[in-house]
Structure 1
Amino acid sequence: MNAPVIGRKLQSVENGMFDHPEFRGHEQVVFGHDRASGLFTIIAVHDTRLGPALGGCRMWAYASSAEALTDALRLSRGMTYKNALAGLDLGGGKAVIIGDARSAKTPELLAAFGAQVDRLGGTYITAEDVGISAPDMEIVATRTDHVRGTRATGLGDPSPYTALGVFCGIRAALRHRFGSDSLEGRRVCVKGLGHVGMDLAGQLHRAGARLVLADIHKPTLEDAAARFGAEVVAADAAHAADVDVFAPCALGAGLNDETIPQIRAGIVAGAANNQLAEERHDEALRERGILYAPDYAINAGGVISIALATPGGDDALVRSKVEAIDETLTRIFERAERLSLPTQQVADTLAEERLAAA
């Protein structure tokens, strides 16, 4: 995909912004390009009622600019709800960079992205996400102060805290479903062994879970399987594994019309963002009797760490707040059961109540 073609596509989707199915009252959507580095980025600011919009930057080889825009709009809205539900005084935003992170990412491109963030004057605060690492954020920070997750702004890489929050959330789901949060002997399928998924797999293994693992990168999968004594399944079949818990930790939209009827787990609880392909799929999960941990509630550990960390400080406050994800999910599960509502709808309501109060 060459630069002139991308440029024309970006212009066409920008012109139709307000008709986009994922546009939900976004305050600002910025299309950025840097000729010298080849940067093409979209920064979406969804809501700043609680504070500046905080959300990571994702670099991905999107099939089209329209696909990138859809991801930015959905992810930024999810960050609004995630930050609200986590009790943070921050709004929601997200950035995407169009390109293959393995081959197209350069220091010049990252610096150019930092300059794009800086032009927003603090309305949007960036951090790492899929395809963008903590060292990458150090480069971004050379061009803007509106960045978190660096050594200068706190605890660095947020992925261990995301993994901790998901681990706590899985235990909350087990307790609600089975009356005990013990993982001893429980079968858990982790799909996606990036930084978060691998860390989560390690925590689950140490807690006594029997793991089933899936990842598109074969060497990573084989290494993890050997380390944890785990079974291996194909990535496109992970959702149908015969397990107690399915933990999607890769990309979103994996819970859809095709996969939901095939799920054998009683619990879906993982780190991936935007797991539901469409909002109606939360009801589809409920109708099948599957307990779903809303993604932005269970995976908030990373954003909590970059929001609350202080330079040179310890992580006691952060860990305490992340471990409280257990309590948040318990509240969601109990209200959903009492009102016979899908858990995502209940989580949305709780987040919207806080936004309305602001």
Structure 2
Amino acid sequence: MSALWDLPDYDDHEVVHFVRDHASGLSAIIALHSTHLGPAAGGTRFWHYADKTNAVKDVLRLSRGMSYKNAMAGLPMGGGKAVILADEDRTKTPAMLAAFGDAVERLGGRYVTAEDVGISVADMQAVAERTSFVSGLPAEGDNAGGDPGPFTAFGIFLGIQAAAKFKLGRDSMDGVHVAIQGTGSVGGRLARLLAKDGAKLTLADIDADGANDLASELGAEIVSTDEIMQVECDVFSPNALGGVLDDASIAALRSPIVAGGANNQLARPEHGKLLAQREILYAPDYVINAGGIISVASEYFAKTENREVDVAEVRERIAEIPGRLVSIWEEAASSGRTSAEIADARAQELIGRG
């Protein structure tokens, strides 16, 4: 493997920690991209990487994305991310979570963690027994907290509404055809919100049984994961893992809009230009999917500042996402630059790297 700083996805990260605890079997990486605006915040991903080099690339890209996401959401937090390297059986033990909590604690508050792919609220509760630098914990009453997934889905839903209005002139989602790739925690909730608003849905997920059940519930169509990106639709919404927008997939898209919650949707930065060349409206992922981190940050600062923030206030903050997207699209239309370039430039300026 190349030296860390020679990897294409290394972006002047402040710190990258490789964590190993032999007693529990924990192998993890914690990357802090920037603490310019505050403690580096970002979830922990539990995933099996057949090639461990991909774990390094993943944590580098995800932590950079969190810097941009938090900055663009107006949060006083930097960007960080963690990945726990799971074995093929996805073995996860209390001892492993405890060791990970200890690793977070040793960073002394420079990193604040929460749920991500493969990590549940219960897992974060276990981590919280070893460190206070955790959010996404169960909430009481109407206070902010708990699983950030519903808040992420809500923000994406609002962003898709804004995209349909901006690109298609649609004031309602009634009859707008959305193809959703990934129907898990976020994608499934997004599908329900869209169906309630009258959208026509086509779904795909690697969990075919789960996708079929959801399709039956919502009256949606179902296609294979190999077919979803070629579905003729109004909006293609990627909500699984990243890197799905590359030369081949962009050429095959049959949608005027790409708007979804997956992180790092562009395989490489130049793929934003390919979307623009095809006149496909792209919602930068870290702008549209910021609802979860808005909830996580609200919960964390409410705890550290000993005050209360209710869910209604969190939803008001999430409701600002469409305005940010429209501003980016308007500048793209007037400047000739892509929406991805504009979002990156704004985020870099905010974290002091412009």
Report the TM-score, using the length of structure 2 for normalisation.
Answer: 0.94
**Distance in 1, Cα, partners of 2:226 & 2:39:** 37
AA at the equivalent of 1:142: E
**Distance in 2, Cα, partners of 1:101 & 1:86:** 36
Distance 1:348 1:217, change over 3 A: same
Deviations 1:79-103 (A, max 9, x none): 0000000000100000001115963
Output aligned runs, 1:30-45, within 5 Å: 30-45=17-32
AA at the equivalent of 2:244: G
Deviations 1:286-339 (A, max 9, x none): 000100000000000000001013366421111001111011101011011110
Partner of 2:81: 94
Higher deviation after alignment, 93-102 or 160-169: 93-102
**Distance in 1, Cα, partners of 2:95 & 2:208:** 30
1:349 maps to 2:345: yes
AA at the equivalent of 1:125: V
**Distance in 1, Cα, partners of 2:4 & 2:120:** 30
Partner of 1:267: 257
Partner of 2:97: 110
Partner of 1:200: 190
Deviations 1:197-250 (A, max 9, x none): 010000000000010000011220111010011111111221111110000000
Output aligned runs, 1:53-202, within 5 Å: 53-100=40-87, 103-151=90-138, 154-202=144-192
Residue pair 1:101, 1:131 contacting (<8 A) in 2 also: no
% identical equivalent positions: 50
SS at match of 1:277: coil
SS at match of 2:352: helix
Displacement of 1:357 in angstroms is: 9.0
Q: How many residues align?
A: 345
Distance 1:183 1:84, change over 3 A: same
1:47 maps to 2:28: no
Question: Which sections of structure 1, spanning at least 5 residues, go unmatched?
Answer: 1-11
Deviations 1:57-114 (A, max 9, x none): 0011111221000000000000000000000010000000111596311222111111
1:17 maps to 2:7: no
SS at match of 2:214: helix
AA at the equivalent of 2:254: R
**Distance in 2, Cα, partners of 1:143 & 1:102:** 25
**Distance in 2, Cα, partners of 1:101 & 1:341:** 42
AA at the equivalent of 1:83: N
Displacement of 1:349 in angstroms is: 1.4
1:337 to 329, 333, 337: 333
SS at match of 1:21: coil
Q: RMSD over aligned Cα, in angstroms?
A: 1.6
SS at match of 1:167: helix
Distance 1:248 1:102, change over 3 A: farther
Question: Which sections of structure 2, spanning at least 5 residues, go unmatched?
Answer: none
